[in-house]
């Protein structure tokens, strides 16, 4: 299971180093800090920063939490954090763990997602990690280049920022700026590219991939510039629902 070590913001990697130095290798499977990529605009240039996704949180995977906690409490630096009320060791629910495994991947860094808006300012195309969580988006901050999503963590709903790219960002060569993660980054950032138009046609059967109707299937009745009308069976009758192309995928007949 995954557990959370809650500590002081800015000391997360220090805790990870301490865990790796002190704990026997057979007591835990991994210890890490979660990061995400974020675009910062400086003098008309887009820079990619890598920042902590959940400041103050360190994640550890173990089947022996009692031994892990006992060992950590014996470390003077940890003992002080415990006595000051600045150190907690809490388990994640299974659903929370599964969500984070899917979101973070093996590198524990959430990459940028490409977001494109139509002429009315509505999102109609999304590529990258955010596409799976469109139904959890609370709001977009386009100028600051992130989307806030609601996530369940330690039994509470928290807001997490996922970095986004806009069209003007992918038109330039992206460089890295501040990198908080202890990782070696390449000289140039390889940006997430927009997915190609799936080319839906009237009569195609599709599945809704996000939002309130996620998982439902229907047939395309009308194709517009950035949206389509989908006939979906609701309340015993077929109803036409206008949907962005980006939230649909082709489904088997």
Check whether residue 180 and residue 213 sit in a common domain: no
Check whether residue 185 and residue 211 sit in a common domain: no
How does residue 84 score in pLDDT terms, banded at 50, 70 and 90? Answer: low
Distance CA 6, CA 87 (A): 5
* pLDDT 10s digits, 117-148: 776 677 777 888 998 888 889 999 999 999 99
Total domains, the chain: 2
For 68, the domain range is 2-189
Average pLDDT over residues 23-49: 90
pTM across the whole model: 0.75
Average pLDDT over residues 198-225: 81
Check whether residue 174 and residue 234 sit in a common domain: no
* pLDDT 10s digits, 140-190: 999 999 999 999 888 889 999 999 999 888 888 888 889 999 888 877 887
Check whether residue 65 and residue 104 sit in a common domain: yes
Check whether residue 160 and residue 113 sit in a common domain: yes
Average pLDDT over residues 221-230: 84
Check whether residue 129 and residue 217 sit in a common domain: no
CB 194 within 8 A of CB 172: no
Give the long-range contacts of residues 76-80, CB within 8 A, separation 24 or more: 77/18, 78/18
Q: Is residue 199 part of a domain?
A: no
CA distances from 11 to 34, 92, 160, 184 (A): 13, 21, 20, 20
3-state secondary structure the chain: CEEEEECCCCCHHHHHHHHHHHCCHHHCCEEECCEEEEEEEECCEEEEEEEECCCCEEEEECCCHHHHHHHHHCCHHHHHHHHCCCCEEEECCHHHHHHHHHHHCCCCEECCEEEEECCCCCEEEEECHHHHHHHHEEEEECCCCEEEEEEEECCEEEEEEEEEECHHHHCCCEEEEEECCCCCCCCEECCCCCCCCCCCCCCCEEEECCCCCCCCEEEEEEECCCEEEEEEEECCEEEEEEEEHHHEEECCC
Q: Is residue 165 part of a domain?
A: yes
Q: Is residue 26 part of a domain?
A: yes
CA distances from 51 to 112, 134, 146, 155, 204 (A): 12, 22, 12, 24, 41
Last residue of a domain, one of 161, 189, 217: 189
According to the model, what pLDDT value does residue 111 have?
A: 93
Distance CA 234, CA 241 (A): 10
Average pLDDT over residues 110-116: 91
CA 87, 181, 169 angle in degrees (round to 5)?
130
Asked whether residue 65 carries a pLDDT value surpassing 70, the answer given is yes
CB 247 within 8 A of CB 211: yes
Q: Is residue 194 part of a domain?
A: no
Q: Is residue 154 part of a domain?
A: yes
Check whether residue 137 and residue 212 sit in a common domain: no
What phi, psi does 39 have (nearest 5°)? -90, 130
CATH number at residue 228: 2.30.30.30
Check whether residue 171 and residue 212 sit in a common domain: no
Distance CA 163, CA 112 (A): 5
Check whether residue 226 and residue 169 sit in a common domain: no
> Which among 218, 211, 214 has a CA at the least distance from the CA of 250?
218
Asked whether residue 77 carries a pLDDT value surpassing 70, the answer given is no
């Amino acid at each position: 299971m995954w557990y959370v070590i809650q500590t002081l913001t800015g000391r997360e990697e220090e805790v990870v180093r301490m865990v790796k130095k002190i704990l026997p290798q057979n007591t835990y499977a991994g210890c890490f800090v979660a990061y995400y990529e974020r675009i910062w605009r400086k003098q008309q240039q887009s820079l990619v920063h890598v920042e902590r996704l959940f400041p103050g949180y360190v994640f550890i995977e173990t089947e022996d939490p009692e031994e892990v906690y006992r060992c950590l409490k014996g470390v003077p630096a940890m003992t002080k954090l415990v006595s000051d009320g600045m150190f907690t060791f809490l388990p994640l629910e299974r659903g929370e763990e599964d969500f984070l495994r899917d979101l973070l991947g093996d590198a524990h860094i959430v990459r940028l997602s490409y977001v494109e808006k139509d002429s009315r300012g509505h999102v109609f195309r999304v590529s990258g990690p955010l596409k799976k969580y469109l139904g959890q988006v609370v709001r977009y901050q386009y100028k600051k280049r992130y989307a806030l999503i609601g996530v369940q963590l330690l039994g509470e709903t928290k807001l997490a920022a996922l970095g986004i790219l806009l069209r003007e960002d992918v038109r330039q060569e992206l460089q890295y700026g501040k990198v908080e993660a202890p990782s070696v980054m390449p000289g140039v950032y390889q940006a997430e590219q927009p997915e190609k138009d799936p080319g839906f046609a009237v009569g195609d059967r599709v599945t809704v991939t996000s939002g309130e109707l996620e998982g439902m299937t229907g047939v395309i009745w009308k194709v517009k510039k950035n949206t389509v009308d989908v006939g979906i069976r609701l309340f015993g009758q077929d109803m036409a629902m206008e949907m962005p192309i980006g939230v649909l995928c082709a489904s088997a007949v």
